[in-house]
Amino acid sequence: MKRFYIETFGCQMNVHDSEKVIGTLEQKGYVQVHSPEQADLVLYNTCSIRDKAEQKVFQRLNENRRAKGKVFGVLGCVAQQEGEKIFEKAPHVRLVVGSASYPRLGDLLVQIEQGGGRAAGLSLDTDATFETPATRRDNPYRAYITIIEGCDKHCAYCVVPFTRGRERSRRWESVLEEARTLAGMGYTEIQLLGQNVNSYRDPENPERTFAGLLEAAAQTPGIRRVRFTTSHPRDFGRDIVDVIDRNETVCNMVHLPVQSGSTRVLAAMQRQYTRDEYMRRVEWLKGSPRNIALSTDIIVGFPGETEEDFRETLRLLEEVEYDQVFSFKYSVRPNTPAQKMGDHIPEEEKSRRLAELQEKQRNIQLRRNSGQIGTVQEVLVEGLNRSTGQWIGRTTQNRVLNFVTPPRAGGSVPGREEMFGRYLPVRVTRAGPNSLAGECVIAV
């Protein structure tokens, strides 16, 4: 029996790639196990967005360099970035495969099984997207669907265009067919995925763009919630807001990474929009009757970022009042245009800026979340906190809402099977910076 173990680092695209890899391997007779010790094949699906992320996989490989009789494989963004150098750094690795070569993964494994030795899949020269009917999803209610792979934006700091190759959209019909299949299997929430979903164009009919696909996906019978990540502000058109306005099933939450509040820094980052252009999009979103929540990504300490540039980012946070912010210290990445700009901002200064920004955002989030006290929100129930006995749900704005249910007449309590996957109305009674708490307003 061929047993495999896989550990996944990085973004949602990587998580979903792993689901597809797992499905592909299971189809070939492999069985997933949950510790590397039990496995014949140990795979790491890696991320190289920041240096720290990249270091993790080399730590892992170092930990098990003496393991005998196993095949080690590195997949994903570090695989693509470092290529065959990985074989030198970690000689026990026998398989290195970038995401653009996953359609060949099965063949590469056969090559190793039959011939011993090593195999690499590192070509980025492809128009294909990685699709398989065998995707193995763990979450029974919420499913990812890839709509576009790769990235052509070349932001100055970013490795993704080098690790995931050029932009390629999946066929419109194929996306919608997967949405219908998932609905048929009982999924009620889908999340459309891509590094830049709004660059989507149907390869068979380039007139068909992201807004249309989002609307068509939102009208899939049985689907109650549609999310999408990530949007690049440059290509974020008004038509997307119109689709959100018209379709209750499109969640009222948008992730719109800004990276910096300073137009000067945005230009140095090659983001292709100014602060004002970004703010115009925020105004469209804020003007929507759907009460759209906003989240973003921010990098502090990009080369040349002055204290004044940083203050502009802080002011932007105040102006937009994001519901969630993912913030990072700038990390120099190999081969990127920004690599040549050096890395002048000292580590301690980056840490100070990050801490100040996070403190400010914590207060903003507390304020935003407190504004929801007293409202009734629909949640999708997806967990149970054993220690507090509270159910864990998510609102359409993607806030975590922990809640209790009204006592039953006979004193019994609802079971997990009854509760998970249900949509319930919950009154918000308390708010913290990262979550809400409340009570279900109907008997369950």
* Residues engaged in binding ligand SAH (CB under 6 A): 49-50, 157-158, 160, 195-196, 230, 232, 257, 259, 297, 299, 328, 330-331, 333
Q: Residue 21, interface with ligand F3S (CB under 6 A)?
A: no
Does 161 sit near ligand F3S (CB under 6 A)?
Answer: no
The option from ligand SAH, ligand SF4, ligand F3S, none interacting with 241 (CB < 5 to 8 A, set by class) reads none
The position carrying tokens 């689901």 is 19
Q: Which tokens hold the place of 191?
A: 């999340």
* Token pair 């990530």: residue: 230
Helix (H) or strand (E) holding 300: strand 293-300
Nearest partner of 430 among 396, 404, 397, 398, judged by Cα:
404
**Which of 232, 353, 394, 399 is the binder for ligand SF4 (CB under 6 A)?**
232
Q: Which does 331 bind (CB under 5 to 8 A by kind): ligand SF4, ligand F3S, ligand SAH, none?
A: ligand SAH
Task: Verify binding: residue 22, ligand SF4, rule CB under 6 A.
Answer: no
Which of the stretches 150-158, 212-220, 236-244, 353-361 binds ligand SF4 when contact is defined by CB under 6 A?
Answer: 150-158
* Residue 154 contacts which entry, ligand SAH, ligand F3S, ligand SF4, none (Cβ below 5-8 A, type-dependent): ligand SF4
CB 243 within 8 A of CB 250: yes
Residue 13: name its binding partner from ligand F3S, ligand SF4, ligand SAH, none (Cβ under 5 to 8 Å by kind): ligand F3S
Judge contact between 163 and 77, C-beta under 8 A. yes
Return the residues of window 29-58 that contact ligand F3S according to CB under 6 A.
47-49
SS (H, E, C) 10-78: CCHHHHHHHHHHHHHHHHCCEEECCCHHHCCEEEEEECCCCHHHHHHHHHHHHHCCCCCCCEEEEEHHH
Encoding tokens for residue 117? 């030795």
Please pick, from the candidates 36, 76, 98, 161, the single residue that binds ligand SF4 as defined by CB under 6 A.
161
Instruction: Please state the closest distance from residue 365 (CB atom) to ligand SF4, in A.
Output: 23
Q: How far is the CB of 151 from ligand F3S (least distance, A)?
A: 8
Q: Which residues pair with 424 in a beta bridge?
A: 379
Going by C-alpha positions, the residue among 3, 5, 21 that lies closest to residue 13 is 21
Contact partner at residue 161 from ligand F3S, ligand SAH, ligand SF4, none, CB < 5 to 8 Å by partner kind: ligand SF4
Q: Which of 39, 74, 158, 282 binds ligand SF4 (CB under 6 A)?
A: 158
C-alpha pair distances (Å), 443 with each of 59, 98, 430: 50, 50, 20
- Amino acid sitting at position 215: E
Closest approach of ligand F3S to the CB of residue 190, in Å: 20
CA distance readout (Å), 401 to 293, 372, 387, 404: 15, 11, 16, 10
List of residues contacting ligand F3S (CB under 6 A): 10-11, 13-14, 47-49, 76-77, 159-160, 163-164
List of residues contacting ligand SF4 (CB under 6 A): 151, 153-155, 158, 160-161, 195-196, 232
